[in-house]
Amino acid sequence: MASITKDGDKDRKKKRIIKTESSSPDVKKSRVEPSKDGAALFYAEETEVDTRDPQKDLDLFEGASSVIKNAVTDIQAMRVSGKMNNAVLDEKRIQATLQFVTLKKMNRLSHFRCRKVREATNEAKQRIDQYHLQLQNLLYEAMHLQKEINKCLEFKSKDEEIELVPVEQFYKEAPEDISKPKITENDDHQLTLSRLDWELEQRQRLSKKLKEVSCSKDEILKEIDTKQEYLDSLQPKLNSILEATKPVQSYLNMPYDETREQHQTALHLPHPLYVLYMQSSAYKDACDKYLKVTIEGDIHSAKTLDMSVQEIEEDSDSDNEEQEKKTRRRKTTEDRRSDKKQRVLRKHPLTVAMEISCKEGSKLLLTFSYLLQLEIITVQVKVIPSCLDAVHNSISGGDLLLPDSILNELYPGDHGNNTPNPANQYELQRMGLHEFSDYVSQVGRPYQWTQWLGGLQFLGDGNPVTVRSSFSSAYMQQTIKQLRKRLKARLALLHQLATLERNSIPVSSCLIDMFPVKVLSRLVSWKRSTYEDFCSLDYTKNITEGDMVSETDIFFTAVMERGSAKLTCQVVVGADYPTVPPLFVVSISWQVQRNATNDVHIKELEEEVNVHYTELIKPKTRDNLLSNQLQRLLMCFDVYLETESHDLSGPVEIPKDKVFTRVARGPDRKKPYKYIPDLGIFTHR
Amino acid sequence: MQEQSLQSRQLYHMTIFTQCFSPCGKYIAAANNYGQIAIFSLVSALSPEANESSRLPIYCFKGCKEGAIYCLTSTDTFLISAGEGDICAWKWSDIHNKAPKIIWSLSLPKKGVFTNPEVNSMVVDKQEQATRLLAGGGDNDIHIWNMENGQLENSLQGHEDYVHSICLKNNGRECVSASEDGTVRIWDARSSSEAVHILEPHKTPMCGRPEMGKWVGCVAMDHGDDWLICGGGPKLSTWHLRSLTPTATFDTPGSCQNFVMYHEENVISGGMKPCVNHWYVNGDLKSQVPTTSSSIYNIAVNTVLDQLRVLSVVGNSCKIDVCTNFGYKAFSLKFVPS
């Protein structure tokens, strides 16, 4: 029984479960029905529901209920009324209670109906829900698709962003297999595809190129980098090389470093000295390797001077004085005046030093200074001859190399005694100073050519000084040449003088054949003389009056002898020897005193030596002109003596030794002073 | 500077050997040892407003290519110059126009290789038939040319040394020459034979000065052709031509006379002293006029124009002394070649 009941329980549980699934909460009642038959019966009412008309049931219900109600009311009425009729009452009650059965059935039916209806509703609802869900799904999908379609429609493919080559160009450029004109002409899509193809190909090509190029660019950049590093590393190397070349430079005499420093220093030079420095450096570099130009002096004071110059220019003299009073102890008026005087003659601290050397080693050192107040350039000279013997040997020429006079008259009339700047006169006067020539030893000589080299040109009276470098360059070559010539000439002169003092005439070797081998007269003395001595001679009056000699010339006296005849000759050597040949004034004493004023032949002799000297000038022998002329004089003295003897009856002191074509010629009975080297005879000019 | 000094030296050593007045008498031509001929205007030099520049040459030209000009002489149209080169003739009109050119020239006949004889003295002999030029110089001969056709008519040979000076005698028929060889020779100009007379002043005790040499530098004839005066190494002396002996001497101690001339009744001479000597014909010194040049080579008197009657002296300087009154030097012209 138990197992059956269990089965029945299970069935019931099953049923319960089933029921609760589809029916009302009226669970307790169901427990009572246990069997199969009961199951069929159980479900009979359910099926009954389907057959019964609900309206009828409703009427049943109402009927039952109304019976009940009537019963009740009747009862009630009876109870109230008091008339209690128990039979009627019981009947009524039984009827009422019977009605309850109907009610209960109806209730059950209604429940069943409700349940069925609910189930149907639920089913329908579910069906509807399902459809609704489906609809929603479909709608959603539709929407989704719509969205997708929209998206698709909106989709701008990247190919539209590509700027394609215009169609014509595309057809022109693209190769046949890509452009496929026949297909693409008609079909836009194909056209676009082809174009895209072509674009792609081109871009691929270009990107390849780009890669290559950027590769190469990278390579090049790398190269540049390495080279840059190399260059950077060079700088210290170069510096070290420069350092190393310094000794080589000095050995080879190419001092580039020094010149650069010099140029730096040059910036502090006063303008005229700067011009001089630059022009002479330029000349030196271009033409002249025997010239050296350097800047010397105190560069610091030059720098301070540069700065203070601007202040000084603004202050007036009196301001300066006041300042001095305040800053220092009060100076006496004399001190102040001597200060002012000093200032007038003050030089700029930097000087330009020029060294002109000759091939055989002698040097001329010129130091150019600039006088700030007076605005002129002065020069101090020093001579360094290559061999000092000649200098010291010559007594008569002792002063020829003196710094004061060696550059006298480098240009005609230029003695360097006075300042070339006319304004200086007033300055010096104002300061109570003497003539400039007194201070020459202190400050140097202001030659005209030194002003020219510095580009200074002093025009007229009171005109402002102009500094022109064109001026300097115009005179530079000439002046340097003159300076060198002067040095050589002076040294040559000294040599000659030294030899002459030993009574031998140093004739130039190339001119030896211009004179006969046998010259019987000889030089016996050579001495220095003076301008006053020269002028004191009576036969020199014509010459001094004719302005043929000047005080600055150098005078000598030479004596030549032959037998009892003595020739005394005054030799006047100009400062500019040998540009201006020496002048000879002759007097012969032989039985009687004769000279140019009383003997025509002596004047002829002078003419022979003084005027016809160009034959004695060969290219390299110009400096030796003095000796050559002296030899000619000696030779002519011989001729004079040999042709002068008129009295052939008595003994002739000086016999005729030389060959003459004719002894006399012309109204003045000229003597045959001219020697013809080829034939060895004397003839007239 | 060199140029200047050379120029001043050349000026100092200039010797003016000869001078000549123009046919009109207004100009002096002077020639120097550089072969230059300068023309001075007497009129402007003598005018009251004269200054330095009027005493310089108005025109200067080279008369001889190379060498000196020793003598100048003039005809009515030509100025004839001679010296170291050929004898050249210039037209006065060309010279006044400052464009002189050689119209004709004569050269001494060549005798050898080494000789290029100079011409020291020239004389023009103007006759009706022909005008002749006589010249003597370094080749020791006197040559006579016919000026119209330029033919060398005659050469008088005989001197042993060069001829210093010649002058004419007897209206051109005879010529007298003074030479370095110490002789004065008188020639017959038309014949070419030897000299008719030879005088040797140096051999006479009266005139000879052995210490001065034997050469005779100057000779002149007086107007009457009776007297001859010559000088040089030997003293300046007058000779009587008929007797051919010296009659008077003119004492110039220590000085040889280079030039002598008769002027009016007096003798004017100059030599190696810086003065012009005026003498009386008997040998007495009338006056001595100092000159600039220390030796005198030529003295000339302008006889053409009376108002320009001056005496001019040239010598071994660049100055020509001009005397208006023969007693003193008035001024000097300066031969400065421009």
Burial class (CB in 10 A: 0-12, 13-18, 19+), B125: middle
Spatial strand order of the sheet with B131-137 comes to: B119-126, B131-137, B142-146, B152-156
pLDDT given for residue A24 in this prediction: 47
pLDDT for residue A522 is more than 60: yes
pLDDT given for residue A490 in this prediction: 81
Q: Mean pLDDT over residues A547-576, rounded? A: 85
pLDDT for residue A1 is more than 70: no
A193/B contact by beta carbon, under 8 A: no
pLDDT given for residue B129 in this prediction: 79
pLDDT given for residue A14 in this prediction: 53
Bridge-partner residues for B228, per DSSP? B221, B239
Coil, strand, or helix at residue A466?
Answer: strand
Q: Measured in Å, how far apart are chain A's first and last C-alpha atoms?
A: 196
Per-residue HEC secondary structure of chain B comes to: CHHHHHHHHHHHCCCEEEEEECCCCCEEEEEECCCEEEEEEHHHHHCCCCCHHHHCCCEEEECCCCCCEEEEEECCCEEEEEECCCEEEEEHHHHHCCCCCEEEEECCCCCCCCCCCCEEEEEEEECCCCEEEEEEECCCCEEEEECCCCCEEEEECCCCCCEEEEEEECCCCEEEEEECCCCEEEEECCCCCCCCEEECHHHCCCCCCCCCCCCEEEEEECCCCCEEEEEECCCEEEEECCCCEEEEEECCCCCCEEEEEEECCEEEEEECCCEEEEEECCCCEEEEEECCCCCEEEEEECCCCCCCCCEEEEECCCEEEEECCCCCCCEEEECCCC
pLDDT digits (tens, 9 = 90+) for B46-91: 888 888 888 899 989 998 888 889 999 998 889 999 988 889 999 9
A215/B contact by beta carbon, under 8 A: no
Burial class (CB in 10 A: 0-12, 13-18, 19+), B154: buried
Contacts of B210 in chain A (CB under 8 A): 646-647, 649
pLDDT for residue A22 is more than 50: no
Contacts of A150 (CB under 8 A, 6+ apart): none
Q: Say what percent of chain A tops pLDDT 70.
A: 82
Q: Are B11 and A546 in contact (CB < 8 Å)?
A: yes
Best of A572, A607, A622 to mutate (most B CBs within 10 Å, chain B): A607
Q: Are A548 and B294 in contact (CB < 8 Å)?
A: no
Q: Measured in Å, how far apart are chain B's first and last C-alpha atoms?
A: 17
pLDDT given for residue A104 in this prediction: 82
pLDDT given for residue A12 in this prediction: 54
Q: Are A667 and B8 in contact (CB < 8 Å)?
A: no
CB-nearest to B316 from A600, A646, A647 is: A600
Q: Are A662 and B294 in contact (CB < 8 Å)?
A: no
Tell how strand B131-137 and strand B119-126 pair up: antiparallel
Contacts of A685 in chain B (CB under 8 A): 67
Q: Are B17 and A666 in contact (CB < 8 Å)?
A: yes
Of all residues in chain B, the one with the smallest CA distance to A541 is B12
A578/B contact by beta carbon, under 8 A: no
Contacts of A579 in chain B (CB under 8 A): 1-2
Tell how strand A350-357 and strand A363-371 pair up: antiparallel
Q: Are A646 and B15 in contact (CB < 8 Å)?
A: no
Backbone phi, psi, residue A360, to 5°: -90, 10
pLDDT given for residue B6 in this prediction: 83
Q: Are B68 and A664 in contact (CB < 8 Å)?
A: no
pLDDT given for residue A650 in this prediction: 58
Best of B3, B15, B275 to mutate (most A CBs within 10 Å, chain A): B15
Q: Are A580 and B258 in contact (CB < 8 Å)?
A: no
CB-nearest to A547 from B6, B8, B164 is: B8
Q: A410 or B104, which is more confident?
A: B104
Distance from CA of A502 to the nearest CA of B (A): 30
Q: Mean pLDDT over residues A448-462, rounded? A: 72
pLDDT given for residue A27 in this prediction: 47
Residue A613 pLDDT level (bands cut at 50, 70, 90): confident
Distance from CA of A268 to the nearest CA of B (A): 38
Best of A585, A606, A665 to mutate (most B CBs within 10 Å, chain B): A665
How many CB atoms neighbour CB A74 within 10 A?
Answer: 16
Spatial strand order of the sheet with A554-562 comes to: A522-529, A554-562, A565-573, A583-590, A592-595
Q: A439 or B293, which is more confident?
A: B293
Q: Are A548 and B5 in contact (CB < 8 Å)?
A: yes
Contacts of B6 in chain A (CB under 8 A): 611
pLDDT for residue A412 is more than 60: yes
Q: Mean pLDDT over residues A349-359, rounded? A: 82
Nearest partner of A195 among A228, A173, A224, judged by Cα: A173
A664/B contact by beta carbon, under 8 A: yes
pLDDT for residue A8 is more than 60: no
Q: Is the peptide bond before A578 cis (omega within 30 degrees of 0)?
A: yes
Q: Are A667 and B162 in contact (CB < 8 Å)?
A: no
CB-nearest to A667 from B114, B214, B217 is: B217
**Model ipTM value:** 0.86
Q: Say what percent of chain A tops pLDDT 90.
A: 4
Best of A646, A652, A674 to mutate (most B CBs within 10 Å, chain B): A646
CB-nearest to A667 from B11, B13, B120 is: B120
Q: Are A664 and B215 in contact (CB < 8 Å)?
A: yes
Count of all residues that appear for chain A in the document: 685
pLDDT of chain B along its 338 residues, tens only? 678 888 888 888 889 999 999 998 889 999 999 999 999 998 888 888 888 888 899 989 998 888 889 999 998 889 999 988 889 999 999 988 988 888 888 888 877 776 678 888 998 888 887 888 999 888 888 999 988 888 888 888 889 989 999 999 888 888 999 998 999 999 988 888 888 889 899 888 888 888 888 889 999 998 888 889 999 889 999 999 888 888 988 988 888 899 999 988 899 999 888 999 999 988 899 999 999 888 999 999 988 888 888 999 999 888 999 998 888 888 899 998 87
pLDDT digits (tens, 9 = 90+) for A641-652: 888 766 555 566
pTM, whole model, 2 decimals? Answer: 0.67
A607/B contact by beta carbon, under 8 A: yes
Distance between CA atoms of residues B212 and B215, nearest Å: 8
Nearest partner of A477 among A295, A275, A286, judged by Cα: A286
Contacts of B121 in chain A (CB under 8 A): 667
Contacts of A667 in chain B (CB under 8 A): 17, 70, 120-121, 164-165, 217, 258, 297
Contacts of A580 in chain B (CB under 8 A): 1-2, 5
Distance from CA of B11 to the nearest CA of A (A): 9
pLDDT for residue A318 is more than 50: no
Using alpha carbons only, what angle is made at residue A279 by residues A275 and A280, rounded to the nearest 5 degrees?
A: 115
Q: Are A666 and B70 in contact (CB < 8 Å)?
A: yes
Q: Tell me the count of A-B CB pairs closer than 8 A.
A: 87
Nearest partner of A191 among A201, A179, A202, judged by Cα: A179
pLDDT for residue A90 is more than 50: yes
* Range among A1-10, A166-175, A196-205 rated most confident: A196-205
Tell me how far the alpha carbon of residue A229 is from its chain's centroid. 21
- Tokens standing for residue B116: 């290029």
Best of A600, A659, A660 to mutate (most B CBs within 10 Å, chain B): A600
* Range among A5-14, A100-109, A376-385, B53-62 rated most confident: B53-62
Identify whether the C-beta of residue A354 lies closer than 8 Å to the C-beta of residue A368: yes
pLDDT digits (tens, 9 = 90+) for A653-667: 777 778 887 888 888
pLDDT digits (tens, 9 = 90+) for A219-275: 999 999 999 999 888 888 888 888 887 777 777 766 666 667 777 777 878 888 888
How many CB atoms neighbour CB B173 within 10 A?
Answer: 13
Identify whether the C-beta of residue A635 lies closer than 8 Å to the C-beta of residue A657: no
Q: Mean pLDDT over residues A119-131, rounded? A: 84
Q: Mean pLDDT over residues A517-526, rounded? A: 83
Q: B301 or A3, which is more confident?
A: B301
Contacts of A49 (CB under 8 A, 6+ apart): A109, A112, A113, A116
Contacts of B161 in chain A (CB under 8 A): 664
A669/B contact by beta carbon, under 8 A: yes
Distance from CA of A660 to the nearest CA of B (A): 12
pLDDT for residue A447 is more than 80: yes
pLDDT for residue A132 is more than 50: yes
pLDDT given for residue B2 in this prediction: 75
Of all residues in chain A, the one with the smallest CA distance to B294 is A597
pLDDT given for residue A16 in this prediction: 53
Identify whether the C-beta of residue A494 lies closer than 8 Å to the C-beta of residue A397: yes
pLDDT given for residue B220 in this prediction: 92
Q: Mean pLDDT over residues A362-391, rounded? A: 77
Backbone phi, psi, residue A514, to 5°: -80, -10
Dihedral sign for Cα atoms in the order B3, B6, B10, B12: positive
Identify whether the C-beta of residue A520 lies closer than 8 Å to the C-beta of residue A638: yes
Identify whether the C-beta of residue B244 lies closer than 8 Å to the C-beta of residue B230: no
pLDDT given for residue A310 in this prediction: 57
